[in-house]
Structure 1
């Protein structure tokens, strides 16, 4: 700390005849006028934004940027000082850089923009040579603001006059409003937006002008008039209709459309040579129609919908004015849609080096074949296979465990809703996609067991708007079967009947639904919220055919099926100080309720805690349930450290280091619990003292961020261990460290 304070002490560098300018303050004089202004504080904050110049920034009262600037001016500053000056150095702001009159003019101008004409500003520059500092003060005396008495439109012979008049009920300007230049600008933008939706293709808000008349009043009221500037072109006041629509489904710059055939569907001409995309499949994506007034929303929605198909690299919509048919009251546009496709087929191979928090590591190979536009209707087929080998390279008695995994997955995506009735027209923002997924997987954990699993699902995915996504699978089938098991693993199942029951539920048939609200995609939003809510149910339909219990379960096709309801909620909030500094928070909760055939959730549906995307100070599946801790001699505890209930909370501060390297400080807390008591897992049941059973860890991390790709390294240490006796759970100097390697941010 002493070194830091010395490094940031800049007083010795300030020239003798100079004073460091430390900023200014604005005071609005209290009187009968300011007391009646409801938004007086916001006015003050706005005036603060125009203060010039800006002083050198401080961090906890220190000025590191100014310090490294001074040091870099030395004859031999050194490489580190030159580097830090380049990154964070700032030139000093002195008293001589301050011009009070310029800032006074800026304040007066801003007040006039808010209706406070004839206000007064008194400024003063206070200099203290003993500490080589100076600051400015600005005292503002507000004059009574001007208030809107009436707001009306100047008559015009063009149809645009009636179009504007029809929107005035939604005007931003009302009688009694204060004169406000920003509000007037917003009113022009509102009118422009509404007129564009009514077909005024060439309209521009700059064509409008406001004029005020104060001659009719003596108490600072005025009449406000909206009209057109001089020499506004007639076509800006004329609405446009769509006349001809032409779509090029397989467009390239070398195209010669004259050589292509044209197919017309719903008054839309589809021009292509060899059939690339069936016109009847593409037509529902076009929202503007022949004879319809031009509407930019229809254009942007059409572009987004076409882009969501996944077949096209570029979507370009162009409008051509038909001058020969233009009249004083109506004009026409020809719409042309150019679609440039991606390569139809793609093959991707990935050689991965897998490292997990449970000390398993090894190579993995993934191959994915993609066929876009499989049936010439935008269908996408993905076939992927993976082969992996892992060995537990550390962990005491666990060392030497091996596993191999082979998987095959097929995914067919239809860019439309496969349903008995055509519902595509009910979705304006985006057309739902239909997904059909089939997968199979074989896992062989040496010396323990082999596991065969397969799944099939059918469902829909769509965006309701920019932030909201829905994903529902009304058909979701899973089959899970234990293969060959070792005597050691059989002993584990014998000692824990609940674990055995979780593997016996071989068949899962149900419904899953996921709702996502995501503001994090908007980088300009300083406070962004994210919510993901998931519902997973199984066995409801099958349960109507029987009345099985966990002691006497029903079966289907000879397989015992699971019955449960599972809910999870993932809430996140990111506060962005700027585009690189972020404070991120996350709350997660999950709850599973087995019933009927099931007295425990299937193993694949249970919750676990710990690992690189969870509580990073604990290895994956090593936390919980509750206060349970396996014996040190138990080499396979990670199989049963899961539960029916999960709670987690995370906080992380992310900041830039240099280039594409980012840093982070974080704190994580969480655990899992069982709904019912399990004698094999003492202390695992959820109780009212769950807060006292949270595992807590802190740490620091390094991220390598290249565009949207992130490689993450986190080093964490536990400071609270729920499995320790009460009174001994806090340990701020445990000396234990967990290293996590992962791809992507944890939340």
Structure 2
């Protein structure tokens, strides 16, 4: 009966959504969109026709009412919630989710036709012709635009000025080496405009401070026939004299405590430091703080690149929320500029309270409170000092872990210097400030009825950006020390009864120390690109030199210590690659591959638990609960066997691949269809975990899942809901691991054991 009611409601909604036109008045017609028709032209390829249609469609206004599967849901809401009241739920729904009808009478066919024709002519189709018309039905209407492109005009030659005694013409001539205007390309007005901007940018870097793109004349000759054009690049006769001069830097002044009330430059208070002056009578910051920000130098030729790099570094220095920059001529005849940087600071100290909520695929619901204290200028050198106190709780209501709640508390401190602190001289002159980072932390992790872990961490290293796409992070030293306490008899009995070494490994003492290096390259910030990617590679080392020097060899019983504590020795490598492909304005396909391997040796035969790999959960294999899969074909079995809770399965090797289709559904709602595959393994075999070792049969031991989800993109955050099911279970006998034939949505027991709901913030990758 319930199913029938649901079906009837859905059917009623569909009929109601289709009846939007009954709300129209008189001769009003609902605008349903436009169609672009390109008349047959052998000179146009199918790809060119498709591109023209997409581009022209994007120019047309107005846009019809948004629809999903042919249903104008927002218009339906608008129609159903119209009210004369200015308050109440109907008014709120009308204004928040409704969309008024777009009428055919609001479409300006003539104006749209002119826009399309103008754009085509700007893109080499000089003889283009566009005709617009409407198609009207009873209560709806659409527009149709018929395009005759004509032949496109091709660039035959680009002529720049010849180098000579004139510095400005010589500079323009040298700019021809990387011109955007290429012989054989189609004429395009946008590219011509970009070429003027490119030339201007190059001249700015050569000292022509007052030059402007408008000073460049692009003369196009289309009279030579055969649909070809010559483009002549030259200087306008009206170019001001100042624009043709090369300017040099005179003095540089930095004002670290500027406000809008300041009207005087107070040069009498300027103090010289190395190559710049600091005007700071209150001594709010030491002059050394700007050593990595002021890229310009006295007597150097003005450079737009160094100018922009300096501004970017001032903004990213940390203590300042606004940066104002001006240049002033010293006098009319000197061709020299004084540079002024006016910095408006943030409040130096701040206190922030964060309250977070979360869920996990293991049915835990949790919350966390963070108290953050920050000082943006701790030692008057733009050092960022932060102290974070945190506490959290994760509780499971029902399920196999009911009653084994997790509580955490701790403190994390960090200090970041906006420069390299090193005996070596590292030079970084791009737009990004290098940082030296020091972190110290302690956390207390208590799992009710089971155990308590005390964890101490520390690191010291450097972080710098090579360019907008490449980032490096080198930690000279990472230290981790984890010690278990208050281990319950229940947990000890579970270890003994289950014979699962993972349970024992969780509470093993861990002591690691060594360097790490991470390299990241990505172009995902370039939203205009159809294809983007993200790559990260990382290497972690622990006790390598000390372990080798001390002769550590656990296999021969030679377990060495440092400060009285056995240490972990390993090499760990991991790499991750993500690829994003746009298949529409708001839809895309995303893929990820993750490979990781750790080699324990010398003083260790397994990676420490905190450095091992895990799999499953909301950001991994979404058809399996977090940390409940693997290693290899090993299966922990029924949770009752190991004390009524799942162990956190871990491994030394990890392989994972994910593929996700992300269609835009409507408004802020996006969908997802996904498939995941992967597993973890141990590097060395373990008698208590048969099948966990990594071998050449790893392909047959991969787990796989599939599922669907929704993403609510509210700009400030993305709420993600994924429902996954396993389709390959590696612990089953060979030949039975694919479980498509077991899928039974009608079975409550199957749903309980196989439907995994993941609720998270942000995309999984």
TM bucket (normalised to shorter chain) is: 0.7 to 0.9
Equivalence for 2:559: 554
* Partners of 1:198 and 1:407 in 2: CA distance: 54
Equivalence for 1:91: 102
CA shift in 2, pair 1:296/1:625, >3 Å: same
Higher alpha-carbon deviation: 13-22 or 637-646: 13-22
8 Å CA contact retained: 2:356, 2:369:
yes
Aligned ranges for residues 239-250 of structure 1 at < 5 Å? 239-250=246-257
Question: Equivalent residue of 2:467, what SS?
Answer: coil
Question: Equivalent residue of 1:638, what SS?
Answer: coil
Aligned ranges for residues 311-710 of structure 1 at < 5 Å? 311-322=319-330, 325-327=331-333, 331-350=335-354, 356-359=360-363, 364-388=368-392, 392-395=396-399, 398-423=401-426, 425-494=427-496, 495-497=499-501, 500=504, 504=508, 506-525=510-529, 527-551=531-555, 552-557=557-562, 558-574=564-580, 584-627=590-633, 628-633=635-640, 634-635=642-643, 637-646=645-654, 647-649=656-658, 651=660, 653=662, 662=669, 664-665=671-672, 667=674, 669-675=676-682, 676-686=684-694, 688=697, 690=699, 693-701=702-710, 703=712, 705=714, 708-709=716-717
Higher alpha-carbon deviation: 374-383 or 287-296: 374-383
Which sections of structure 2, spanning at least 5 residues, go unmatched?
Answer: 1-9
- What's the offset of the Cα at 1:380? 2.2
Equivalence for 1:182: 190
Higher alpha-carbon deviation: 374-383 or 155-164: 155-164
CA shift in 2, pair 1:177/1:368, >3 Å: closer
8 Å CA contact retained: 2:366, 2:392:
yes
Question: Equivalent residue of 2:739, what SS?
Answer: coil
* Partners of 2:348 and 2:638 in 1: CA distance: 55
- What's the offset of the Cα at 1:194? 0.9
Equivalence for 2:4: none
TM-score, normalised by the number of residues in structure 2: 0.81
Higher alpha-carbon deviation: 613-622 or 532-541: 613-622
- What's the offset of the Cα at 1:703? 4.5
* Partners of 1:154 and 1:724 in 2: CA distance: 76
CA shift in 2, pair 1:524/1:139, >3 Å: closer
* Partners of 1:441 and 1:38 in 2: CA distance: 58
- What's the offset of the Cα at 1:64? 5.6
Equivalence for 1:288: 296
Higher alpha-carbon deviation: 577-586 or 364-373: 577-586
* Partners of 1:301 and 1:570 in 2: CA distance: 30
Which sections of structure 1, spanning at least 5 residues, go unmatched?
Answer: none
Equivalence for 1:6: 15
- What's the offset of the Cα at 1:206? 2.0
TM-score, normalised by the number of residues in structure 1: 0.83
Tell me which of 234, 239, 244 is aligned to 1:232. 239
Higher alpha-carbon deviation: 303-312 or 238-247: 303-312
* Partners of 1:4 and 1:649 in 2: CA distance: 36
8 Å CA contact retained: 1:523, 1:579:
no
Tell me which of 161, 165, 178 is aligned to 1:170. 178
Describe the superposition over 1:205-263 as per-residue Cα deviations: whole angstroms up to 9, x where unpaired: 12322224567x56565553333445332222323222121011233344565397322
Report the aligned-residue RMSD: 4.3
* Partners of 1:743 and 1:44 in 2: CA distance: 37
CA shift in 2, pair 1:233/1:21, >3 Å: same
8 Å CA contact retained: 2:125, 2:152:
yes
Question: Equivalent residue of 2:292, what SS?
Answer: helix
Equivalence for 2:5: none
* Partners of 2:297 and 2:144 in 1: CA distance: 62
8 Å CA contact retained: 1:209, 1:229:
yes
8 Å CA contact retained: 1:24, 1:51:
no
Question: Equivalent residue of 1:285, what SS?
Answer: coil
CA shift in 2, pair 1:5/1:320, >3 Å: same
